[in-house]
Structure 1
Amino acid sequence: MDRGRAVRIAHLSDLHISPVPLPRPWIEAVHLKQVLGYINWLRGRGAHSRFRLDLTMAAIAGAEPDAIALSGDIIELGMSSEFAAGATILSDLLSIAPLALTLGNHDPYTPASIRRLQTYWERFLPGGATTATDPREAYPQVWSSGPLALITLCSGTPTWLFSAEGAIGRAQMQRLDAMLAALDRTAQVPVLHIHHPPDTAQLSALQRLRDGDQLLDVMARHDCPLILHGHTHRGDIRQLSCLGKRLVLAGASSASAVATRGPAAAGFNLIDLSRSDDCFHIAVSAQRFDGSAYITFDKREWTV
């Protein structure tokens, strides 16, 4: 493997494929959470568009990424018809580049949703995720190319009514810790990928990553410079300090958002990583749809 060549990742999130079908208990079991979720979706109907998602996917294809990181919330209510529609989208993305998929809080919306996603998304999920009671048991997953080790975590798990929380869990966090400790840092840089952002201060108690602080500690201890996430529907690049280490967080807005202004406009991120001499160069470019085309509205570059 040529570990010195440049690698490009396209990062998108929160597809929320529309329209959302009416929950029909005479076809499959329906949870109260799905009924309430459908009512909530009706209130915001029109916020997402399949046409806008198609434009986003075309822009990603034009960027010619080496891999695609999809940060979850592909669907809305965890019903079989949604998973079938999602499988078509995932197949289209996989035809562009290798796909690193994680789950958001809307994908395993209820315990029954886990069985459905394992059926419809088997070819897109890590092997263990298709049989485990909890798909998080199959994570972290690593996609490696050149100087990059893209490490995908899973924070999506069924939650109570009105909750959009996520959790990595102790076992997955321990596996991540061991994985980062074993990585040859002279050859590769780890970039993490998850649905929920780890900086919990910006979110309510019902939206946060429960173990976000622990994740930031693991990142800092292992000098992990960058994490990609979704969930907030805001495209932004920000940094914080943890244990004296600089950590960069890149959020992707919804790839299907109808909005064309501000951080909530449809968008995606491009991450370029290359090696030069004894350092690695990282560039994160945030792309936003301005009503006619995708433009770069923010870009950060640094070396590690």
Structure 2
Amino acid sequence: MITLAHISDIHLSPLPQVGLQDLAGKRLTGFLNWKLKRRGELNSETLERLVSHMQKQNADFTAVTGDLTNLALRSEVERAGRWLEALGDSARTAVCPGNHDAYVPGALECAQELWGPYLQGETIEGQAFPFVRRVGDLAIISCSSAVPTPPFMAVGRFEEKQAARLARILKLLGDAGYFRAVLIHHPPNAELQHPSFGLKGHRIFRRVIAEQGAELILHGHTHRSSIHHIPGSSHEVPVIGVAAASAAKGGTLDDPARYNLFRIERTGEGWRCIMREYGFQRLGDDIVMRMQMRIY
């Protein structure tokens, strides 16, 4: 049996010292949004408690589906790198970037430099994404939907070139008999699309999954716990989102902080996968197992 932990939307706080020179363009609106709203809904104490609970599960691998930063200042990216090191060894931890990690041009490249092996794995065509990590029968495929966007926009993008590479990777891993878990920050299912924060190219992503299949798709971005499905080559593929890991209780829009734990094992020609959701509830101060369900 292999255990896979999933955590997302870290939004490390508080913001570091921000100078006027840092607040050009989109960072100004993001800074104001943080001051007026987000700093009251996302906090470090909640995150620390959730991560401590998750680490006690001693998962074989941890997937982080983006938004480690807020404004993608270099000091934030550096702090996120230290946070990743504390979270787990890079051999057992991988990130797919979120829109806040690519907040402005050059930010994602900075993250790739400073987070190093957490944003790396086996690739094809010499391209950074998708990259693959393998743990026993589990293959984690990290895609990127993170691109800089104008103010008030949080859309992601998934284009044909990355789709072609993802299709090849899924085919190779499927033929080799792996349980394929695909990471992408923005949800790819039609139900969660929106002009200002959806995934441009969601139909392209779903086409690849319909043609090549996958066993599991994990995302963040919405700050909500959610379960949907999209068509695969032989069965419906679960699409599972998780609440923001730093979301404090009492937020006006977000579910309280949570993480998911998947227990995956081969059973003959198929798979058994049990998902457990852990986290805070709107009442009470304890982290509890909120749900258990069989995915396969």
Same fold (TM over 0.5): yes
Choose the corresponding residue for 1:255, options 242, 245, 267.
Answer: 245
Say which SS state the counterpart of residue 233 (structure 1) adopts.
Answer: coil
Q: Is 1:265 matched up with 2:256?
A: yes
Tell me the amino acid that sits aligned with residue 24 of structure 2: H
Tell me the amino acid that sits aligned with residue 222 of structure 2: T
Structure 1 runs of 4+ aligned residues shifted over 4 Å read 240-244, 260-263
Choose the corresponding residue for 2:85, options 88, 91, 102.
Answer: 91
Q: In the aligned structure 2, how far is the partner of 1:36 from the partner of 1:273?
A: 42
Q: In the aligned structure 2, how far is the partner of 1:145 from the partner of 1:128?
A: 13
In structure 2, the residue matched to 1:289 is 280
> TM-score w.r.t. structure 1 length?
0.87
Q: Is the 8 A contact 2:16 2:75 kept in 1?
A: yes
Report deviation, 1:199.
1.3
In structure 2, the residue matched to 1:3 is none
Choose the corresponding residue for 1:10, options 5, 13, 32.
Answer: 5
Distance 1:302 1:199, change over 3 A: closer
In structure 1, the residue matched to 2:30 is 37
In structure 1, the residue matched to 2:292 is 299
The runs of 5 or more residues in structure 2 that have no matched partner are none
Q: In the aligned structure 2, how far is the partner of 1:168 from the partner of 1:244?
A: 23
Q: Is the 8 A contact 1:260 1:289 kept in 2?
A: no
Report deviation, 1:185.
4.1
Distance 1:40 1:128, change over 3 A: farther
Q: Is 1:19 matched up with 2:14?
A: yes
Report deviation, 1:120.
2.7
Distance 1:214 1:269, change over 3 A: same
Q: How does 1:127-166 map to 2 (within 5 A)?
A: 137-166=127-156
> TM-score w.r.t. structure 2 length?
0.89
Say which SS state the counterpart of residue 259 (structure 2) adopts.
Answer: strand
Report deviation, 1:82.
0.9
Q: Any idea what the Cα deviations from partners look like across 1:110-151, whole Å, max 9, x if unmatched?
A: 01323432443234322799xx9xxxx401111112221111
Report deviation, 1:58.
0.7
Tell me the amino acid that sits aligned with residue 298 of structure 1: M
Tell me the amino acid that sits aligned with residue 207 of structure 1: F
Distance 1:76 1:144, change over 3 A: same
Bigger CA drift: 242-251 or 229-238?
242-251
Q: In the aligned structure 2, how far is the partner of 1:274 from the partner of 1:260?
A: 37
Report deviation, 1:298.
2.5
- Give the paired residue count: 290
Q: Is 1:168 matched up with 2:158?
A: yes
Report deviation, 1:8.
0.6
Say which SS state the counterpart of residue 195 (structure 1) adopts.
Answer: coil
Q: Is 1:108 matched up with 2:69?
A: no
Tell me the amino acid that sits aligned with residue 188 of structure 1: Y
Distance 1:300 1:217, change over 3 A: farther
Q: In the aligned structure 2, how far is the partner of 1:178 from the partner of 1:149?
A: 14
Q: How does 1:232-251 map to 2 (within 5 A)?
A: 232-241=222-231, 245-251=235-241
Report deviation, 1:215.
1.1
Q: In the aligned structure 1, how far is the partner of 2:197 from the partner of 2:131?
A: 24
Say which SS state the counterpart of residue 187 (structure 1) adopts.
Answer: coil
Q: In the aligned structure 1, how far is the partner of 2:139 from the partner of 2:202?
A: 21
Tell me the amino acid that sits aligned with residue 24 of structure 1: G
